Amino acid sequence: MSDHKTMTLTLIVWRQKNANDPGKFETYTAKNITEHHSFLEMLDCVNEDLIYAGKDPIVFDHDCREGICGMCSQVINGAPHGGQDRTTVCQLHMRKFKDGDTIYIEPWRARAFPIIRDLIVDRSALDKIIQAGGYTSCHTGGVADGNAILIPKPVADEAMDAAECVGCGACVAGCPNGAAMLFTGAKVSQLALLPQGKAEAAERVKSMTNAMIECGFGNCTNHYECMAACPKGINVKFIARMNREFLKAQFA
């Protein structure tokens, strides 16, 4: 057995009872944390202590804890998901921190994402963007033969790169304007690239970008903070592609 050196950390965590509560930072001490803990397990430990002390645990979103569902959502020391390249909070490990560190933990902050409680925000605005056109409305019929529609490999790859988006909203949290362009760009591109999605491409890009505004997201100013925040490495080339699709749609 390796010896388990433990660390003690100071956490400064955003606590807010509901959307109307002004909210404030509270300071906690995380004790007996090893480098093997994940960030969320570290919070589990802190919450256990809080519960034993009769206090409200820190409320945060999580589900798969293996980096694929997009539920976890925390801004750590100013960086969505903690700032480690292509890593969700649940995949961030305490070996990245050292004994005595002070860590700020905040929720996604954007007008379109009202805070529900503590670190949980309401991300249904992203669903509204999808509902506005993030689908194809073709009749699917029976199961089609594989390769009945031929798609060149580079095109399939490009669509797959866009489809990696897990809808976590870190791009919005990272954007100083609270814009949802990387998310929407990924969804618009994924469908516009493929033959099944091309038929409705013009209508789709218009209604999905309209939904962005109606949901209260800001506009893009090409800071590229979204790309730095994205745990799935979605490239801003998909924003450029969406801009191109939008221009094309004006003449469709």
Partner 1 sequence: MQFTSSSIGRKILMAITGQAMVLFAVVHLLGNSSIFGWLNGGINAYAEHLHSLPLPIIIGFRLALLAMVSVHIWFGIQLTIENRGGRPQQYAVKSTQKATFASENMIWTGSLLGLFLAYHLAHFTFQVISPDTAALKHLVPLHNEMVPNVLGMVVGGFKNFFVSLIYTGAMVALFLHLSHGIQSFFQTMGWSTDKSQPILVKLGTLVALGFFLGYVAIPLTIFAGILKG
Q: Is 154 in the site for partner 1 (CB under 8 A)?
A: no
Closer CB to ligand HEM, residue 8 or residue 222?
A: 222
Contact 184, 233 (CB under 8 A): no
* Alpha-carbon gap, residue 5 to 108, rounded angstroms: 32
Question: Does the footprint of ligand HEM cover residue 221 (CB under 6 A)?
Answer: yes
- Under rule CB under 8 A, residue 104 binds partner 1: yes
Pick the stretch among 8-16, 164-172, 195-203, 208-216 that binds ligand SF4 (CB under 6 A). Answer: 164-172
Q: Answer yes or no whether residue 13 interacts with ligand SF4 by CB under 6 A.
A: no
Contact status: 230 vs ligand SF4 (CB under 6 A)? yes
Sign of CA dihedral 185, 190, 192, 198: negative
Binding characters for ligand FES, 110-149, by CB under 6 A (x = yes): ----------------------------------------
Residue 88 binding result from ligand HEM, ligand SF4, ligand FES, none, given CB thresholds of 5 to 8 Å by partner type: ligand FES
| Comparison of 62 and 241: residue with beta carbon closer to ligand FES | 62
Select the residue interacting with partner 1 from 10, 111, 149, 195 (CB under 8 A). 111
Q: Binding residue for ligand FES (CB under 6 A) from 46, 90, 171, 215? A: 90
| Three-state SS annotation for the chain | CCCCCCEEEEEEEEECCCCCCCCEEEEEEEEEECCCCEHHHHHHHHHHHHHHCCCCCCCCCCCCCCCCCCCCCCEECCEECCCCCCCCHHHCEHHHCCCCCEEEEECCCCCCCCEEECCEECCHHHHHHHHCCCCCCCCCCCCCCCCCCCCCHHHHHHHHHHHCCCCCCHHHHHCCCCECHHHHHHHHHHHHHCHHHHCCHHHHHHHHHHHHHHCCCECCCCCCHHHHHCCCCCCCHHHHHHHHHHHHHHCC
Q: Is 78 in the site for partner 1 (CB under 8 A)?
A: yes
Largest Cα separation within the chain, whole Å, is: 68
Q: Which of 98, 82, 91 is nearest to 40 (CA)?
A: 91
Selection from partner 1, ligand SF4, ligand HEM, none that 61 binds (CB < 5 to 8 A by kind) is: none
Piece in contact with ligand SF4 (CB under 6 A), picked from 8-16, 22-30, 94-102, 223-231: 223-231
Q: Which residues bind ligand SF4 (CB under 6 A)?
A: 165-171, 182-183, 186, 229-232, 234
Binding site for partner 1 (CB under 8 A): 12, 25, 75, 77-79, 83, 104, 106, 109-112, 174-179, 181, 206, 209-210, 212-213, 216-225, 227-229, 235-237, 239-247, 250
Q: Which residues bind ligand HEM (CB under 6 A)?
A: 221-222
